[in-house]
Structure 1
Amino acid sequence: MGELYNHDGSFSPRADELKGTRIAMQGFMAPHLKVDSDFFILSNTPVETCPFCATEGEWIDSIVFVRMRTRQEMAAPGTLILVQGTLEIGPATDPTTGFVSKVRLTDAVFQRAGA
């Protein structure tokens, strides 16, 4: 996830290059607000707070909003997962949840890493 940002928090040339393409990212699923949902937060480390309750300026650069292709059973906390989806970058507010994000994977699927 770090390769998507420059040191000043702006998007890197690599992020611009990957925008709109299908990519894979590895990380941890954040604890979920709703059990029956088609989205989650992917983080490079386990997180305990809701990053979408913050503003764009407070965005944590180690998380990605993931909108799944179809609902999947959530991964247990601390389980390393591999997510594949289409990369979207730039500030956006999710119309369903109202969450603000700077980086998203859409049409995504995931599995346990190494599976």
Structure 2
Amino acid sequence: MRIVLLLLWLGMSSVSMAADKLHFRDLYGRGGEFSEMAKQKQGQTIRVRGYMAPPIKAQAAFFVLTKMPMSYCPFCESEADWPADIMLVKTDDIIDVVPYNQPIYVTGQLEIGTQVDEETGFLSRVRLVHAEFETAK
């Protein structure tokens, strides 16, 4: 039984273990430009710790990840006002919302560069796509 549980745990955590850790502070260099590290990690699977901002709409397959807990929508700003400590997270399924002050780990493929989402019209500079998340212990 212990072996079965160990194998299940290893299988479930393989995505997070294979991903490189990235911190919000690693995304930008001077003047709001993307850092060399962010450019090198583009397209790769990374893992980021943060907080889920309150959802912009119900039954969504995306959310905003913030460095610190936020009780409002930081994602609804122009690029000029874009904070350096948030990113858009796109999942393959509808998300289960967690409280805005509950830390989470998100694993997904890093995309950088300004983009306006066709479906919602929202602007993003940093995205994690095909992402999964889990609450931090």
TM class, shorter-length = over 0.9
| Root mean square deviation, CA, Å | 1.1
Q: CA deviation at 1:41?
A: 0.4
Which residue is 2:65 aligned to?
42
Residue in 2 aligned with 1:55? 78
% identity of equivalent residues: 38
Higher helix share: 2
**In the TM superposition, what is the alpha-carbon distance from 1:69 to its structure 2 partner?**
1.7
Aligned pair partner of 1:20 in 43, 46, 49: 43
Match of 1:68 among 77, 81, 91: 91
- Contact kept, 8 Å, 2:62 with 2:95, in 1: the verdict is no
Count of residue pairs the alignment pairs up: 114
Q: TM-score, normalised by structure 1?
A: 0.93
What's the offset of the Cα at 1:28? Answer: 0.3
Of Structure 1 and Structure 2, which has the larger fraction of its residues in strand?
1
Shift of the alpha carbon at 1:11?
A: 0.3
5+ residue gaps, structure 1, are: none
Correspondence for 1:97? 120
What secondary structure, in the 3-state scheme, does the structure 2 residue paired with 1:17 have? helix
Letter in 2 for 1:76: P
CA drift of 1:16 comes to 0.4
User: Which of 29, 33, 47 in structure 2 is aligned with 1:6?
Assistant: 29
SS in 1 for 2:39: helix
Residue 46 of structure 1 and its aligned partner are, at CA, apart by 1.1
State the alpha-carbon separation in 1 of the partners of residues 29 and 56 from structure 2.
30
